[in-house]
Amino acid sequence: HGEDFGYDGVIGPKYWGETYRECRGKHQSPININILRVKQVALPDIVFIGFDDPIDDVHVTNNGHTVLIEVENEPHPRVSGGPLDGNYVFSQMHFHWGDNDTLGSEDKINHRSFPMELHMVFYKEVYKSVKEAVKHPDGLTVLAFFYELDRHNHPAYDDITSALTNVTDPHSTVVMSQPFSFLNILPLDLRRYFTYKGSLTTPPCSEVVIWLDFEQPVRLAHEQIEIFRELRSANGKIRHNFRPIQPIGDRTVFYNVD
Ligand code: 1SD
Ligand code: ZN
């Protein structure tokens, strides 16, 4: 049998709204961020907790739509501050990419696409779980990071890509061979970011996400991104898994420059 949603043909993004009515909402993600229209703000510092500790028992799963990185042991990393009210607890991270290096990111900046985008998904601690959090407009925050090409390999990503070669088939999982630290895979500058209210970029497209898009991309080698393109869904290779941009509507994007 096939997947419940996909990125092409009759299960592609154009048709998600027929099965999942929230995908037709007015505050959907992703969006294009027009740098001339953003509102500059100086928000409180973001507080990253547990991002620099090496974490054991990190699971890497091909779920047929993307690759998910999950943490087994408590306590999970947390984030607070910036535009956030309260603490948000790490749930999982995953990636979106394209057929080639000219596209793949979900949000765009001035209509520029990046070859890949990382989403670190957190749920608001007071809601106790993602399942409960998605019932509330402030339930989730996703930290989004763009990638750009570098001539050199990013060594912290070699652990991820070697795990990927063991999960090319959908619904397979491996445990990462090395302890994994979040900070190692992020860009240096975590102070400049865009933030807006939007949705999950996959069905059911719930409008429950405070998006934080960091401005500085992470630099990866083309060969490292290629390994993501080898992952398979039930219908063949996951050649792309980004949703097209959605109307911004009445929303404002804030740009933190502090
Ligand atoms: O695509 C993910 C989806 O897999 C799931 O993680 C969901 C959160 O439960 O978030 C979306 S996304 O909006 O982070 N792309
Ligand atoms: Zn995502």
Q: What is the DSSP string of 177-224?
A: SS-B-GGGGS-S--S-EEEEEE--SSTT--S-EEEEEEEEEEEEEHHH
**Which letter, b or e, does each residue of 211-221 get, where b requires 16 or more Cβ atoms within 10 Å of its Cβ?**
bbbbbbbbbbb
ipTM of the complex: 0.94
Please name the residue whose Cα sits nearest to atom 7 of ligand 1: 200
Choosing from 1, 27, 65, 152, the catalytic residue is 65
Cβ–Cβ under 8 Å, residues 181 and 108: no
Nearest ligand atom owner, CA of 90: 1
Question: If you ran DSSP here, which 8-state letter would residue 145 be given?
Answer: E
Cα(134) to ligand 1 centroid in Å equals 11
Question: If you ran DSSP here, which 8-state letter would residue 124 be given?
Answer: E
pTM, entire model:
0.97
* 65 carries an active-site annotation: yes
Protein residues with CB under 6 Å of any ligand 1 atom: 92, 94, 119, 121, 130, 142, 200-202
* Residue-level pLDDT at 13: 98
Cα(120) to ligand 2 centroid in Å equals 8
Strands 116-124 and 172-175: unpaired
Per-residue pLDDT of the chain (258 residues; tens, 9 = 90+): 456 899 999 999 999 999 999 999 999 999 999 999 999 999 999 999 999 999 999 999 999 999 999 999 999 999 999 999 999 999 999 999 999 999 999 999 999 999 999 999 999 999 999 999 999 999 999 999 999 999 999 999 999 999 999 999 999 999 999 999 999 999 999 999 999 999 999 999 999 999 999 999 999 999 999 999 999 999 899 999 999 999 999 999 999 997
Alpha carbon of 49 to those of 22, 89, 170, 183: distances in Å? 32, 10, 32, 10
Place of tokens 């050649």: 239
| pLDDT tens for each residue of 105-147 | 999 999 999 999 999 999 999 999 999 999 999 999 999 999 9
* Residue-level pLDDT at 1: 46
Cα(18) to ligand 1 centroid in Å equals 19
Measured CA to CA, the distance from residue 164 to residue 169 in angstroms comes to 10
Measured CA to CA, the distance from residue 134 to residue 86 in angstroms comes to 16
Please name the residue whose Cα sits nearest to atom 10 of ligand 1: 200
Query: Three-class SS of residue 10?
Result: helix
* Residue-level pLDDT at 140: 99
Nearest ligand atom owner, CA of 142: 1
> Which residues on adjacent β-strands are paired with residue 121?
92, 142
